Structure 1
Amino acid sequence: MVIDKRNLDFRKKLAEELTFLKVALNKVSVEKKSIDSLDRAIRELKNESYLPPFVDEKDTNLPTIATPFSWGYSIKDFILQVDTSSSIQYPKSVKKASLQLSVDVVGEFDKDGHLFLDPFKSLEFNVVIEGYSRGSKKHIFTYHLDRDLKGKKPSNEVHPSYHFHYGGRKLGTYTDKNFGNSLILDMPRLMHYPMDFILGLDFVASNFTPDLWKSLKRDPAYTKLVRQAQDRVMKPYFGALAQHFGFHDKIVGTWKVSQILPQVI
């Protein structure tokens, strides 16, 4: 299968953005190993023979498919050192913690130019924070952002198309289940806008490494990358919501708000 030239140009643009992101990250206190983890994604986006498959939501029982408009990338093991000085952090004995960000995303280039189209076909966005206290005891905080498959067998819980979920499978892989006085439940799926790696990095940095985030925001090249990602990924999400509530009556949307927020009436 031959990649469509329009998709190839789009993928090259995404690869260029990640390359510029590496330049911005090299100016601040981020480990070189983490910065180098972007290289795999850049290669995947530039690879003209790589067409990542995704699930056909019209029939999720079918094998995954790829099209000439498929694009995607995977970034794993991007590590940031977490600020552990927060006054609401528990246990207080944790003085050192690291955050691992992994993003696996697949999309399909929109050849028809819809304004409010869902930007992705699949998204797996994982954050795992590990901290250590006295005696090298390990503590874990983990959550993920998923894209829900519309054609999948419905569950009892409400699933917005993009939702944050605390814990999940990552939490279950840890053998030490002593969580002190915490109550661990299957948490609600909290609606959230979709995020690619650039938006995801900006999100975790702003929440867990505020000094690093402030340094990055002083770089005009970095803020330009975030602005471009927001326009590409966040605009369709909020545009579809705005249209539903009557702010864009003249624009025909293609993303059903009931998928973004199942509770909406």
Structure 2
Amino acid sequence: MAVNSKYMSFRNARAQEMRQMADLLENQIGNISTFPIHNAIADLSNPERIPLLKNGDAKENIWGYDIENFVLPLDTLKHVTPNDIKKGEIVLNMKLRGNIENWESFNDPFVELAFKVLIKGVGNDRTYHFGFHIDKHTGGNSDESHPVYHLQYDFNPTDSAEPNLGDLFYVDTPRIMHKPMDFILGVGFLTSNFFPTGFQVLCEKREFIKLNTTYQQSVWRPYFHTLANKWKPFDEKNIIWNPINEICPIFI
């Protein structure tokens, strides 16, 4: 089944935005493989490819992509432990599924989200690992807190049968409430935290600012407006906690 022209127009627009991000990374940062991004672009641009949901359903109004093994440098190594680590990298694997009908609305834009980050530090004689993921909770009831979008730490991101955890006490909680994250917003999130020199270079480009503005409007605006609606009425005149980027540095 081929996707109709209306939905393909939406998907092609998202593919073009991903292509702009790939060009920015290639031209402004360099030494970054954008092959995973171009695979996602190809899937978005293919009218014969409908992304599957977890339950195996394929619906024409569902859009999305997978990012596999996208790597960024890690340059925040000033206070790193162990102290033999000389270089590091960030590896992103993600799966995104969204409802086209909910885009640019105040509804949740995503149906499924798995944004998994592996942080690698290379030492003198071994490689160390740490990780976290940002998920959308779509499961059933639980006796643990499950914010619909949450960040959760992963101290065994390589799924080792016998991880070397040292004195670390690992538990499955907390699941920290977190704003949703697509790939474009994810680049800003990851570079600002782990590759700030690259983030500064990107922020000097008008195209990067425009992409982030577009996706903050479509992805984060409904999330934060829904939260703010807890305190009615929402009165814009009463907003005196400024500037906003002190609260969230990647609001650029």
Question: TM-score normalised to the size of structure 2?
Answer: 0.86
Structure 2 residue aligned with 1:233: 219
Gap runs ≥5 in structure 2: 236-252
Report if aligned partners of 1:54, 1:106 keep a CA contact under 8 Å in 2.
yes
Query: Which one of 184, 189, 206 corresponds to residue 198 of structure 1?
Result: 184
Q: Separation in 1 of the partners of 2:171 and 2:75? A: 26
The reply on whether 1:166 has 2:153 as its aligned counterpart is yes
| SS class of match (2:133) | strand
Aligned to 2:75: 83
The aligned length equals 235
Superposition deviation, residue 176 in structure 1: 4.9
Which residue number corresponds to residue 254 of structure 1? none
**2:95 equivalent in structure 1:** 104
**Which residue of structure 2 lines up, in the alignment, with residue 147 of structure 1?**
136
Confirm whether residue 36 of structure 1 aligns to residue 9 of structure 2: no
Identity across matched positions, percent? 32
Name 1:127's counterpart in structure 2: 117
- 1:173-212 to 2 correspondences below 5 Å: 173-212=159-198
Runs of 4+ residues deviating >4 angstroms: none
Seen in structure 2, the aligned counterparts of structure 1 residues 6 and 129 have a Cα distance that, compared at 3 Å, is same
Three-state SS of the structure 1 residue aligned to 2:101 is coil
SS of alignment partner, residue 229 of structure 1: helix
Task: Kindly provide the amino acid, as one letter, of the partner of residue 143 in structure 1.
Answer: F
String of CA shifts for 1:118-177, please: whole Å, max 9, x gaps: 111111101001112222x1211111011111xx33222110110001017x53612452
The SS at the match of 2:157 is helix
Residue type matched to 1:53 in 2?
L
Is the alpha carbon distance of 1:2 and 1:132 closer, same or farther for their aligned partners in structure 2, counting shifts above 3 Å? Answer: closer
1:52-71 residue pairs with structure 2 within 5 A? 52-55=51-54, 63-71=55-63
* Unpaired stretches in structure 1, ≥5 consecutive residues: 56-62, 250-265
Secondary structure in structure 1 of the residue aligned to 2:150: strand
In structure 2, the CA distance between the partners of 1:205 and 1:46, relative to structure 1 (3 Å rule), is same
In 2, the alpha carbon distance for the partners of 1:247 and 1:193 equals: 22
Alpha carbons 2:89, 2:119 under 8 Å: kept: yes
Q: Deviations over 1:223-259 (max 9, x none)?
A: 111111111111110111122322459xxxxxxxxxx
**2:245 matched to which residue of 1?**
none
**SS in structure 2 opposite 1:101?**
strand
Shift of 1:84: 4.2
Aligned-partner SS, 2:98:
strand
Inter-CA distance 181–162: structure 2 relative to 1 (3 Å threshold): same
SS of 2:128 mapped into structure 1:
strand
Partner secondary structure for residue 202 of structure 1: helix
The answer on whether the counterparts of 2:185 and 2:215 sit within 8 Å (CA) in structure 1 is yes
Contact 1:199 1:229 in 2 (8 A): yes
Give the Cα–Cα distance (whole angstroms) in 1 for the partners of residues 207 and 76 of structure 2: 28
Secondary structure at the counterpart of residue 77 of structure 1 = strand
RMSD: 2.0
Q: Deviation per CA, 1:203-238: give whole Å up to 9, x if none.
A: 010000010100010011111111111111111101
Query: Kindly tell me: are residues 185 and 196 of structure 1, through their superposed partners in 2, closer, same or farther at Cα, counting changes over 3 Å?
Result: same
